[in-house]
Amino acid sequence: MIEPWVVIAVVSLAFSIPVLIASYYTVILFVSSLRYPRSLGIADLSTSNRPTVSILIASYNEKFVIGRTLDAIKDLNYPKEKLQVVVADDSSDETRALIDLKVEALESSGITALVSRRETRDGFKSGALNHAAPFLNGEYVLLLDSDSTVTPNVLSRGLAAFGLDPKIGFVSFRVGHYNRDQNLITRLFALQQDQGDTITKMGSYSLDAPYSFQGGFTLMLTRVLRLVGFWTNDSVVDDADLSCKIYCSGWKGIYLSDVKIFCEDPSTLEIWKKQAARVAQGWANCARSRWRKILQSSELSFWRRLALLIFLLGPFSGISWIVVTFVSAFALILGFNAPGNSIFSSPIYIAIVSLPVIFFFASGGYALYVQRIMTPRNLILLPLVSYTSSCMVTAISIGFLNGIRGKTGFFFRTPKSGLEHVGDNKYFRDVQLDRIAIAEAIFATLALALSILIAFQGVWFLALSLAGFGALTLKSMNLSRMLRSNRFGAQIGKSLLTVPLGNSSSQTA
């Protein structure tokens, strides 16, 4: 008969594998990012025979940011007669009038501009983009979000990069942050995004590995967009889904690290977590619907298929961590496992799990170095970035599970206030206590209780892991604000009884 501790060890090791794969793939990407050619695509496009470029912008009730986005287009270092702006607008408020006014201003400046509107919101953001797609007349299309602020050389540098390889289907740009210094959360989000761009995109380019572009920061060939059938309706991560289709069709992407398009960062952890959960759900849904096509694609090498799946399934590492830590903790408390037999008592296991943490901090420092902002004020934020990662584990795991189950109803639209309305989020009503928040509170409280019991058994690495997860998650939930609400108890009861798990906001785009 197999001893219980053997079963516990096998289960723990099996669920540790996804975490280790994701972690060490990130290490590989970081090492590869050191080989990224810093002068990539540095030559500007020839001034003769410049192609027509369409600029496609999705908007839904974005009155605080859309004006800034449209105004910045007039400052592009590109012939105005070669530009076309198409706004895919589903707005139902005063944003409509603002867009119409800005479109007139673009027309007056010599840029062709029009607005695409429809009677319904079928397909939400993807549906709006598909409805606007027939209006595109450019050889290339620059995809922007409502808060994407272009810099003057985006098109000249981006178009020049297409000449590096005939199989390039899109060029993506580094994400800039125009409200980086708004508060601590925006600084942390910007640093994490900097780190992600440096590791995932610079590293993937150096490895010739696929990655997901971001829809508001990408220039692509219009014929490639048509070839893959444009956007998939109801996708909550239209950029990742479109990236998969492009790679499976045999095209590649290129990343320009030193060319930025600026955007607005989330200003609270609540908003950030909901955005992260939505992304995890979308990636899982994309993996669920496209894994066969990815594996069967004759246009992808085995290595590129594997890299694409690892990328899409990355959020599963959060579930793996929860299973490993909680199963190990309960096994110790219930007497199914002795402290000396726990994998968390093994120096080898601890070393294998901890090694990627060293590279995590190194990659953060390198991301700051690449952008020439490696100052003490920014470096001191690196330990706090690991804090934000810990407190999002539950939300990301729930989002991933919903995606694997095929749920497509979760789309949290990140509130955008613009520089003139910093801190004013009264315009948005979809940040509230929900089932994800309740699940976070339950897991965090349980983790804290378990950590105390595990500490008495002397398995300190496991006890500290649980305590850190529990304390950081509770701290991130802004419980004081929730407790001040008179509806706190009613919301919990209603959520537990009536709301499906993971449906944390109405679907908007």
Q: Specify the pairing of strand 53-59 against strand 140-144.
A: parallel
Question: How many CB atoms are located within 10 Å of the residue 6 CB?
Answer: 11
186 vs 353: CA distance, rounded Å: 29
115 vs 125: CA distance, rounded Å: 15
pLDDT on residue 275:
84
Q: Sketch out the chain's domains with CATH numbers.
A: 4-31+314-498 (no CATH), 36-267 (3.90.550.10)
pLDDT on residue 151:
93
pLDDT at 84 over 80: yes
Nearest to 127 by CA among 63, 58, 223, 61: 58
pLDDT on residue 46:
61
pLDDT on residue 421:
54
Residues 6+ apart with CB under 8 A from 36: 202, 203, 205, 206, 257
Burial of 334 (0-12, 13-18, 19+ CB in 10 A): exposed
pLDDT on residue 412:
56
Q: What is the DSSP letter of 499?
A: S
Placement of tokens 């919101």 in the chain: 121
Q: Which segment of 163-177, 245-259, 476-490 scores lowest on mean pLDDT?
A: 476-490
pLDDT at 308 over 60: yes
pLDDT on residue 283:
87
Range with top average pLDDT, 231-235, 384-388, 390-394: 390-394
pLDDT at 317 over 60: yes
91 vs 82: CA distance, rounded Å: 27
pLDDT on residue 226:
93
Say how many Å lie between the first and final Cα of the chain, rounded. 55
Average confidence score pLDDT of the chain: 83
Sheet holding 112-116, edge to edge: 112-116, 83-89, 53-59, 140-144, 218-221, 168-177, 252-263, 149-150
482 vs 479: CA distance, rounded Å: 5
pLDDT on residue 90:
87
pLDDT at 6 over 70: yes
**Segment 328-377, tens digit of pLDDT:** 999 899 888 888 888 888 899 889 888 888 898 899 999 999 999 999 99
Q: Is the dihedral of CA 14, 211, 272, 437 positive or negative?
A: negative
314 vs 196: CA distance, rounded Å: 13
Arithmetic mean of pLDDT, 189-209: 90
Arithmetic mean of pLDDT, 302-317: 88
181 vs 265: CA distance, rounded Å: 10
Arithmetic mean of pLDDT, 34-57: 79
- Dihedral-angle region of residue 459 (phi above 0 means left; psi in -120 to 50 means alpha; beta otherwise): beta
**Which amino acid makes up residue 11?**
V
Arithmetic mean of pLDDT, 268-293: 85
Burial of 120 (0-12, 13-18, 19+ CB in 10 A): exposed
Instruction: Give the burial string for 240-251 (b: 16+ CB within 10 Å, else e).
Output: bbbbbbbbbbeb
Could you tell me how many residues make up the chain?
509
Tokens of 344: 């968390």
- In this structure, are residues 505 and 434 in contact, taking their beta carbons and an 8 Å threshold? yes
Arithmetic mean of pLDDT, 411-415: 60
Q: What are phi and psi of 112, to 5 degrees?
A: -70, 130
438 vs 477: CA distance, rounded Å: 10
pLDDT on residue 349:
87
301 vs 250: CA distance, rounded Å: 10
pLDDT on residue 224:
94
pLDDT on residue 485:
47
Rg (CA), the chain: 23
CA distances to 25, 50, 213, 429, 467 from 197, in Å? 15, 29, 10, 31, 30
256 vs 261: CA distance, rounded Å: 11
Question: How many CB atoms are located within 10 Å of the residue 112 CB?
Answer: 18
Percent of the chain clearing pLDDT 90 (strictly above): 35
Burial of 482 (0-12, 13-18, 19+ CB in 10 A): middle
249 vs 485: CA distance, rounded Å: 51
Question: How many CB atoms are located within 10 Å of the residue 403 CB?
Answer: 29
- In this structure, are residues 439 and 398 in contact, taking their beta carbons and an 8 Å threshold? yes
pLDDT on residue 260:
92
270 vs 232: CA distance, rounded Å: 28
What is the band of 274 on the pLDDT scale with cuts at 50, 70, 90?
Answer: confident
Percent of the chain clearing pLDDT 70 (strictly above): 86
